[in-house]
Chains A and B, each alone.
Chain A
Amino acid sequence: MVFFEQLIHILYFVMAGLIAVSLFKSFFRRKKNNGIVFDIMYAYCLIPFILRILYIK
C-alpha cells in the first residue's frame, strides 16, 4: 500500500509537470493573438503547477 501511495504521489508530480509544459506550449501557440490579459492569466495559472512540481518530498 505504501509503495502504491508513493507511486500515486509521483504520478501526480509527473501530471503537474506535463500540464505545466502543455500550458507553456499553448501560451506560445496562441502568442500572436494574445492580449495582455491572456498573458497574465497564463502566468498565474502556471504558478500552482510549477509550485506543485517544486514541492515534492
Chain B
Amino acid sequence: MSMTMATFILLLVMIATFILSSIKLKSPDISMVVAAVVLAIAGLIAFPDLGSPVRYLVEGLFVNLDLAMLFIAASIFVNIYSNSGAVSTITRGLVKKVKNKWILMSVLGLLMLIPGALTGAGSVSIFVLGGLVNTVLAYLGISKKKRTVFIFFFAILSAAAPPINLWTMLMTAQANMPYVGFTWLLLIPILIAGAFAIIFIGYGAKPSTTENILDELPPETEGMTWWRIVIPVATIVGLFLLALWAPWDIPVLGLPLMFVIAAIVAMLCNPKKTSAKGYLSILDDTMEQVFPLVANVLSIGVLQSAMAATGVRGLIGSTFVGLPLILIYCLIIVIGPITQGCFNYGCSVVLGGPLIFMFNTLGMDVTVVCAALSLIFPMGDCLPPSRIVGRLACEETKYTESYLGFLKTALLPMIVLGIMAVIMIVKPASFAFLY
C-alpha cells in the first residue's frame, strides 16, 4: 500500500471516529480528542516508526495553550470591567449621543475592528466589546440571530484588519516575503464588506425610542466618572500599541499578561466597594464561563497535533495545491474556510504557504494573493470542528437556536467578502496600485 493511500485511510478513520463519537458523546470537544487518540493509534499501526503517540497528544495540549490563557485573562478583564458598571455607562452614553441607527451601527462596527486589528485575534474583539455591541443592537430592534452575525462578522474582519493579520504574517514568513504593503489591500475590502454587513443586518430593524431604551438599560453607577471608564481601556490599548511600536524597548509581555495588568487597573478604577472575596467569586464565575471554550481550543490542538504527526494534514494541503488552477479558483472560497475550521491559523501553513509558492511560479503578484487568502481564511472561524469565533459570538448573545440558522444568515456578508477576495486572486495585477 502506498503512503498516500495509507494516509488517506487514516483520514477516513479520523472522520468516522469523530462522527461516531459526536453522536454518542454529544460533545464535539471530547470527540476531537477521541478522534485524535484513535488517529494516533491507527497511525502507529500504519507507520510503526512514528514513535510514542502519547508524546504528540500531550504536545497537542500545548498547541493552543496561549489561546486558552488569552481567553481566560481577557474574560477576567472584561468581567471585572463590567462589574464596575463601566459598560452600562458607555452604553447609555452612546444611546443618548447617537440618534441615527446607521451611524450607531457604523460606530459599533468600527469600534469592533480595533481590538482584533491590534492583536490579530477576533476573539479579543468579542471579549472587549461583544457585550456592549450586543446590548446596543438589541435596543435597535435587531434580532438575536442577526446580532450574533454582526458580532461574528466584525470579529473576523477585525482579525483580518491591519496592522496585525496573523494569516498574512504566517504566509509571508514561509515565503520569505516582507510584511509590508498590506494595509490598503486588506482595509478596503474589509470596509466594503463591513458596510454591506451593516446594511444587511440593519435593514428592516425598528429601534425603540431613546427614552424607552434608557429606561430598560441598567442605571448609571454611582461615582462612575469618565476617567474611571477610559483608564482600563486606555491601559490595554496602550500596551497593545507599545508592543507594536516599541518592541525592542519593552520586554515581551504577551497578551494574557496585558489583560491581567488591565484587569488590575480596572479593579483600582472600580467606584464600587468590592471586597477581595467579591473579586474571587468573579474569578470563579469567569472560569465556569470560559471553561467550555478552553476545553475546545485544547481539544483542537490535540487533533491538529495528531493530524500533523500522521501526515493527514500534509495530505489535505498537497492534494488541494495539486488541483488544476481553475478548480483552485472555484474551490478556494470553500476549502479555505473549511481548512480554517480544522486547523485555525494552521491553514495558512497547510494551504497558504504552498499556494503562495504556486502563484509565484505562475508569475502572479503574490502580495495581492496573500492579502486575498487572508480575507478568505477567517471566514472559517464559524465552521466546525473549531468554530472558535462563531461559538464565542453565540455565547455573547446567548443564541441557543440552530447553529445552521446562524450560518445561513452569516452566509451573505461572507459571500460578498469571499467574492472580493477571489477577484483579487484571479486578477492580482489589477490591485497592485493599492500598495
Contact = CB atoms under 8 A, between A and B. Distances in A.
A29 interface: yes
A16 to B, nearest CB: 8
B29 interface: yes
A12 B255 CA distance: 11
Contact of B288 (A26, A41, A51): A26
Given A25-B287, A29-B288, A48-B298, A8 B252 contact: yes
A37 interface: yes
B345 interface: no
B284 A29 contact: yes
A48 B126 CA distance: 25
Interface string B269-307: 000000000000001100110010011001100100000
B29 A47 contact: no
Contacts of B33: 40, 44
A29 to B, nearest CB: 7
Nearest to B33: A44
A23 B256 CA distance: 17
Contacts of B291: 23, 26, 42, 45
B251 interface: yes
B30 A19 contact: no
A41 B29 contact: yes
A30 B27 CA distance: 17
Interface in A18-49: 19, 22-23, 25-26, 29-30, 37, 40-42, 44-45, 47-48
B69 interface: yes
Listed residue (A1, A12, A44) with the most chain B CB atoms within 10 angstroms of its CB? A44
Contacts of B73: 15
Contacts of B26: 37
Given A30-B288, A44-B61, A15 B260 contact: yes
B254 A4 contact: no
A12 B33 CA distance: 26
Contacts of A48: 61-62, 65, 68, 298
Specify the main secondary structure of chain A where it touches its partner: helix
Contacts of A5: 251-252
Interface residues of A, number: 25
Contacts of B260: 11, 15
Interface in B69-103: 69, 72-73
B62 to A, nearest CB: 5
Contacts of A12: 69, 254, 256-257
Given A37-B30, A47-B61, A23 B287 contact: yes
B55 to A, nearest CB: 13
A19 B298 contact: no
Contacts of B5: none
A8 B251 contact: yes
Nearest to A19: B72
Contacts of A4: 251
Contact of B69 (A15, A22, A23, A25): A15
A45 B30 CA distance: 11
A22 B289 CA distance: 12
Given A12-B254, A47-B61, A22 B298 contact: no
Contact of A37 (B25, B65, B252): B25
A39 to B, nearest CB: 10
B284 A11 contact: no
Contacts of B294: 45
B298 A8 contact: no
B253 interface: yes
B58 interface: yes
A11 B294 CA distance: 20
Contacts of B58: 47, 51
13 contacts: A4-B251, A8-B254, A15-B260, A22-B284, A22-B287, A25-B287, A41-B27, A44-B61, A45-B298, A47-B58, A47-B61, A48-B61, A48-B65
Question: What 6 pairs between A and B have smallest CB-CB spacing?
Answer: A4-B251, A48-B61, A22-B287, A41-B295, A26-B287, A48-B65
